[in-house]
Structure 1
């Protein structure tokens, strides 16, 4: 234990970047600390005190404010997942596994010795083991359930009554982790500001991995975390922290909350700041779809049946593609960038200007795509509003004999893709790595544009327009 503390002190005083210190904690310090915690009888209150100290170091190394909750650092079900493990959670899992090994040891003397795993009065490993097993037995009684929008049984699961050995131990450990994560989630739900992400509907989870951290600037990661948990130095937060006299917006008399600055300021809307961000995301989405159209045109369908001679090694064939783009080869993409996009007169006459249309004259098909870059909590509202806006146009196009699809898609202003974007890409035929790249391109475009709006929040937009190309 003393050696681990000494190592911790050396890391804190080392002249290296904070990101490197955080990596050293995750991959070197944490395993070193867990071993003496397993060997000696350490109460969980001591472990929690150590985790609070570690959390303060991580916040300082990452440049995050002290007010950021530790649940934001270690939560595995958070919409923004960071690559850190909590010391308390690892301690609880380790001690529960130890109690399980004593109880189910093949050596009868060890199993009947009644060895106690001492962890203090606040939390006991034996009780946690019983709770985990009880939860697993309940899952066996309930049976298969639907997870998300997938059907029942889509994600196969192993029943604890049929698991043996290491597989059973793994299930119990996962259940202990699930209990810890439920406590974290309940704390975040009770936090009105930092826990606002729990109200996001139909938003894809975003995981920050170590390769992402090495490729990106530390300032970008810091801004992303602060924006998700609303701990950026906005006028509203500065007023609460006692750093500003008024919580007013820097551009208008409205309140200076983060939501107001990034999504609801009427002056920023009038100056075209939000429109510029919208166009940056629209450009990224359009480029991915244009690439998919080109790939589909150059794609030749493989033969349905190929026979091989005896002993001949079969050639690997590409999987058959699916999606609307595979139905025709004359798709034409038009995007509302740089010019006013209008529905072709051969289809219908309307004043509505969708963001993108994809037209196939040979099959008389029309795909209308409408992009919104809203505040993440208003994604569902934006989808319903845009769908209702174009409902009459869809009916009119169908009456003219065109098979028409209208799909709104959302990318949150802080860089989180809505499930609608995933649905649209799948409908068009983008799958696998192409789909992941398209989603990543759109989210990164939204994040970069929002970061620029935040940096220039107090500057005149005309002065900032000259350097927009560098975003």
Structure 2
């Protein structure tokens, strides 16, 4: 997880990472000597010799990098992987469709671009080896199964702003080393692994997401409302700032005689900039009633963002699931409001539903980024 001097973006990232001015990162439990070697300029030197100076390349100079990891072997392996990737193509991850992730073709690159491809491929190979070891850890490596949770960036400003116990909870919860009843029993510090509230197995997942007594006492509801209030405040600030923005002007592109127009990818306009009368209704305290002017329903979305002049309505439904079940919660919430969205559309409204997933340990799902991009960008 260390980062060499003058290197760019070379840390091996887990669910928590830092990208500050000093290039620091959270120390991960599994860091091999090869990972430390690839975070220096050892990968850059052999690729520089190979591609930039043919005379030096023929001199047979070997870069010494130790016994466990050799730069020349790693570069050769990376080249083979890149050539093979030309046949398989770029793989899509998460909800991305085919062609969403583009990558330069190795055989068509030269110079600096080719060197960067090799460096990234060497680090990717080391990351794969480290990942296979992490997956084998049933408890501390459980975060590797968070396929739909975004990495959480921790800056130096956050470290100075957060209280020590919050940073401690965040790191320990990721690797499941908090003093839960199950862990205390496993470590020999407690007589029983049961939850003190409901007498079931007191694992971290049970305490943060599955305890029926905590649900009945309103603890999960309180946490849900705190997250909802923070998101609502951010949307309110976006609505206020969008009222002072000038509407985007349509640019006319002139084409000279005999030339063909260049096809440009038109970017969709921001949602908040498309109207000036946005209203945000938030279900805090179970008091929200869906506007009857749009549709009659007994459902209560967490947030309703509507504009009467443009007849647009956006349903935002927040869920705070266990990070392993973010995708399941997303599909459940979307299916819940599918009929209401269709009912709004039948009344002449431009309606859609965006579920927002924030894990119970603070890791946001893709719905947060998607909703933000559609609203303010």
Class of the TM-score when normalised by the shorter of the 2 chains: 0.7 to 0.9
In structure 2, the CA distance between the partners of 1:373 and 1:215, relative to structure 1 (3 Å rule), is: same
Q: Cα gap change, 1:329/1:95 in structure 2, threshold over 3 Å: closer, same or farther?
A: closer
Equivalent position of 1:387 in the other structure: 334
How many Å apart are 1:158 and its aligned residue? 6.2
The 5 A counterparts of 1:233-312 are 233-301=179-247, 303-304=249-250
Q: Which residue number in structure 1 is paired with residue 171 of structure 2?
A: 225
Task: Kindly state the Cα deviation for residue 141 of structure 1 after the two structures are TM-superposed.
Answer: 4.5
Structure of larger gyration radius = 1
Structure 2 match to 1:134: 80
Distance across 2 between alignment mates of 1:108 and 1:94: 21
Partner Cα separation in structure 1 for residue 56 and residue 242 of structure 2:
67
Structure 1: gaps of 5 or more residues: 1-24, 32-73, 307-319, 432-471
Return the alpha-carbon distance in structure 1 between the equivalents of residues 321 and 185 of structure 2.
25
What is the deviation of 1:284? 0.9
Encode CA deviations 1:434-458: one digit per residue, 9 max, x unaligned: xxxxxxxxxxxxxxxxxxxxxxxxx
Cα shift at 1:107: 8.2
CA contact (8 A) 1:102 1:110 kept: yes
Q: Bigger CA drift: 193-202 or 74-83?
A: 74-83
**Residue in structure 1 matched with residue 262 of structure 2 by the alignment:** none
Q: What is the match of residue 399 of structure 1?
A: 346
TM-score between the two structures when normalised by the length of structure 1: 0.65
Within 5 Å, give how 1:3-402 maps onto structure 2.
76-82=12-18, 83=25, 88-91=34-37, 94-95=41-42, 97=44, 106=53, 108=55, 111-113=58-60, 115=62, 117=64, 119-120=66-67, 122-142=68-88, 146=92, 149=96, 152=99, 155-157=102-104, 159=106, 162-164=109-111, 167-301=113-247, 303-304=249-250, 322-338=269-285, 340-402=287-349
Gaps of 5+ in 2: 19-24, 253-266
Deviations 1:106-156 (A, max 9, x none): 585884456574733x54444323212212222344455556626637545
d(CA) in 2 for partners of 1:116 and 1:366?
Answer: 61
Please provide the CA RMSD for this pair: 3.3
Q: Secondary structure at the match of 1:256?
A: coil
How many residues are paired up? Answer: 348
Higher helix share: 1
Q: Give the ranges of 4+ consecutive aligned residues of structure 1 lying more than 6 Å apart after TM superposition.
A: 101-105
2: distance between equivalents of 1:334 and 1:182?
A: 45
Q: Distance in 2 between matches of 1:214 and 1:404?
A: 42
Secondary structure (helix, strand or coil) at the match of 1:334 reads strand
Q: TM-score, normalised by structure 2?
A: 0.79
Q: 1:26 to 1:327 in 2, by over 3 A?
A: closer
Counterpart contact for 1:99–1:117, Cα < 8 Å: no
